Amino acid sequence: MIVLIDEGHGGIKDGVYQTKGKKQYHFTDKNESVYEGELNREYGERLHEMVKKYADVIRVAHEYKDTPLADRVAIANAIHKVQPCIYISLHNNAASAGIKGFGSKATGTEVITSAGQTKSDVLAENVIRGIREEMPNRVIRMDKRDGDMDKEMLLYVLEKTTCPAILVEVGFFDNWDEVLRIYDPKFIDRVCKGIATGIYKFIK
């Protein structure tokens, strides 16, 4: 089993953020900016270190450029043709309408799957339980429409991948209190340990 870790969006190269649009937020009162793609890479690197202890891991499109979604999916599907794999897309969320201001108050973690009951739902359930074991007080945002703890959304990387796939929205990068939390190395370790535990239980 190969675990594919995909850090969402681009990084920063030569001081320039490679993803245009809303995947960043500038806190006017703090004069501080947060770039989601850079934050996602913090989690991807840590999760990779944990998962490689018990599974083969490939980090999909973790270089600085913002690799198109179709290319990310193509990489995953090509690997899945020759060996079983699962796909973990790492992101952080935002609730604000714009990319600057005084931020939102939104908080919590989401584990998202495509619509319907698939093996992705089983993977998501294991990951959510893993996160809850590590962080019992962490808010897990879910839709509860089908009785699962995950959320269901029509997202390209979940709809088009042929292997079990989930997308984890760790926290909200437009909430300053949440930013302080999700950049904390101890928080990163606990979230990634929860995800890694869920992956391990799914594989076993």
pLDDT band at 145 (very low <50, low <70, confident <90, very high): confident
Name the phi and psi angles at 168, rounded to 5.
-105, 120
Compute the chain's Rg from CA coordinates: 16
Query: In this structure, what DSSP letter does residue 98 have?
Result: S
Element (H, E) at 191: helix 185-203
Number of domains into which the chain is organized: 1
Q: Which of 138, 203, 147 is nearest to 168 (CA)?
A: 138
Average pLDDT of the segment spanning 51-62: 94
Q: What is the CATH number of the domain that holds 34?
A: 3.40.630.40
Q: Is the pLDDT of residue 20 over 90?
A: no
In the sheet that holds 100-101, the strands lie side by side as 32-35, 24-27, 100-101
Q: Is the pLDDT of residue 144 over 80?
A: no
pLDDT band at 147 (very low <50, low <70, confident <90, very high): confident
Domain that holds residue 35: 2-203
Residue 126: per-residue pLDDT: 98
**How does the average pLDDT of the chain come out, rounded?**
95
Q: What is the pLDDT of residues 87-105, one digit of tens each?
A: 999 999 999 999 999 999 9
Q: Is the pLDDT of residue 167 over 90?
A: yes
Using a cut of 0.85, tell me whether the model's pTM lies above it. yes
- In Å, how far are 9, 93, 110, 111, 177 from 141, measured between CA atoms? 22, 12, 5, 8, 17
Residue 148: per-residue pLDDT: 84
